[in-house]
Amino acid sequence: MKFLLFLSISLFFVNTVKAQCNSALNDVNVQGVCTKIKTYKSDEITKTPVLVVALHGDSPFNNPSYQYEFANQIALHSINTVSVGMLRPGYTDHLKRTSDGVRGETVGDNYDESRIHQIAKAIQKLKVYHNSDKVILAGHSGGSAITAKLIALYPRLINHAFIVSCPCNIPQWRADMYKSSHYEGFKKSLATISPIELIDNVANEIGITLFVGKDDKVTKPYLSNEYFAALKKAGKKVDYHVIDGDHRLFLNQTILNSVVDVVNDYNKPSQPDS
């Protein structure tokens, strides 16, 4: 009898957890791992929409939600687009929803392969679910480090990456942050690989657009400049923009317009061979 009661309680718990991660527009469930999202769609949708995914930064002092507004703005100004704001592993958003995983200390420790794997698998599932031929990934700050590493570790998943305010040389960025904050967490030893070390794994076909604010004191422009130069030297398809602004740059209209331009290019009818 006790066993049956235990089994009933266990099944109830499992079903409750599943029920909390079964909304295709708000959750991505990959083998029981739940990643929270918010989905926005443009007015016109075909059978093969462009998929845009936005990742927030480390947000050490608040619950990040600006990735949702980014996704919303892209959908509002595009056609044939499914635009998704994704909540990184272990984070809680303004709606008190939490993605599975461990948030970490936000000192460069949460750009590791396990978290990237969770995000990549969620994007893969979204791509299949929405039947998307083209996928754009846009990341800000820590989310841009994840984006830059993801396109190297999963070189065929993303068609265009927007990398905004990137700590693409993680040890150097951590040294900068320790110097400015004196927080001991940035001084601790950390075994990690930087995006700039993975450039050879990035597919030559992928489009890459870098943005950084000229007054950014968190991810200083030289970090993006160094990454851009290395990409360019490796023959990757990249462009780089230093624009007015500081670190809080993700919702800058110039960046939003640039993403919409790529979406529009993907939606242009293909020209027949002459």
| Mean pLDDT (whole number) for 87-109 | 96
Structure tokens at 174: 């951590």
Find residue 55's DSSP bridge partners: 86, 139
Range of the domain at 153: 25-267
Structure tokens at 225: 């400049």
Alpha carbon of 61 to those of 145, 220, 253: distances in Å?
Answer: 19, 20, 25
Asked whether residue 274 is assigned to any structural domain, the reply reads no
Is 20 domain-assigned?
A: no
Count of domains forming the chain: 1
Residue 46 lies in a domain: yes
* pLDDT tens sequence across 237-271: 999 999 999 999 999 999 999 999 999 999 987 65
4 belongs to a structural domain? no
Residue pLDDT, tens place only, 6-53: 333 333 333 334 448 988 899 999 999 999 999 999 988 999 999 999
Query: Do residues 85 and 54 lie in contact, with contact meaning Cβ atoms separated by under 8 Å?
Result: yes
pTM above 0.85, yes or no: yes
Query: How far, rounded to the nearest angstrom, does the alpha carbon of residue 140 sit from its chain's CA centroid?
Result: 7
Give the chain's largest Cα–Cα span.
Answer: 76
CATH number of the domain at 184, please.
3.40.50.1820
Spatial separation of the C-alpha atoms in residues 238 and 124, rounded to whole Å = 23
Those residues whose C-beta lies under 8 Å from the C-beta of residue 102, and which sit 6 or more positions away, are 89, 90, 110
Neighbouring C-beta atoms of residue 117, cutoff 10 Å: 16
pLDDT tens string 201-210: 999 999 999 9
Q: pLDDT (tens digit, 9 = 90+) per residue, 152-201?
A: 999 999 999 999 999 999 999 999 999 999 999 999 889 889 999 999 99
Q: Which residues pair with 211 in a beta bridge?
A: 164, 241
77 inside domain = yes
pLDDT at 130: 97
> Is 57 inside any structural domain?
yes
